[in-house]
Amino acid sequence: MLNKGIRLGKFFGTELILNPLWFIILVVFALPPLIEGNLVAATTMILFLIILYISVIGHEFAHIFAGRRYGIKTRKVVISFFGGAAMMDRIPFGLPETLIGIAGPAFSCWVGTLIVLPFLLGIPHTNAISAFIFQVGQINLFLGLFNILPIFPMDGGRILRGILYHFTKKIVLSTKIVMIVGFCTIPLAFLTMLPFNLLTIVIMGLIVKMCIDEYDMIKNMYND
């Protein structure tokens, strides 16, 4: 279900799919001010979410372009309420996986820094437009930094697994270690860096499920 949705088009040879679950984000963040009659706040939130997910798309295409250096094709990118997922036809183990994993967070941090730096150097962000732009920069920095946490199958988990495999040459063992590290990191990271609500719990649960599913797949396909 998470791999299906509304086709938005084809970009750089990769289909872009919007999963219907994305609209949960609109309901959670844009509906409350709309119900209160605050049309300006609702419109601002919708615009912010659109820009945020454009940043997510850029993040995913950074992975795709890095993957192409290793001959990896990507059929589609799926955007859902918890982020994006580039559906690559394969993942090379070892340092290539690490470098592909780094590409997305590096792009997000680069964009965030470009936006935030002028304000940090003295440009005021006291009016509504400049404050909005500053927040876009901040969320890109957060997106980049959050994704390098060692949680599998997030970018940080793949970065760590690539490094572990480079030294151990054992993909099942490397995946298992990263899975355990991720399970220890998830509650601390999510409960300290994100608001504690139902959406956060759902995202945590989905990441745990995806982690277990991919570990089971690796264990069935490979033998250390």
Residue 224 lies in a domain: no
Question: What local confidence, expressed as pLDDT, does residue 30 receive?
Answer: 82
Specify the pLDDT at position 1: 52
pLDDT score of 96 = 95
In a domain, 193, yes or no: yes
Query: Is 141 contained in some domain?
Result: no
**Range of 211's domain?**
149-216
Query: How many domains is the chain built from?
Result: 1
pLDDT per 10-residue tile (average), the chain, 224 residues: 76 90 82 84 87 91 94 91 84 92 95 91 78 88 92 94 96 95 87 75 85 92 82
Asked, for residue 183, whether it belongs to a domain, the answer is yes
- Do the domain assignments include residue 208? yes
Q: Rounded to an integer, what distance in angstroms lies between the CA atom of residue 68 and that of residue 77?
A: 14
Please check whether residue 180 lies inside any domain of the structure: yes
Residues with catalytic annotation?
Answer: 60
Residue 1 maps to a domain: no
**Residue 118 maps to a domain:** no
Q: What is the predicted pLDDT for the residue at 36?
A: 84
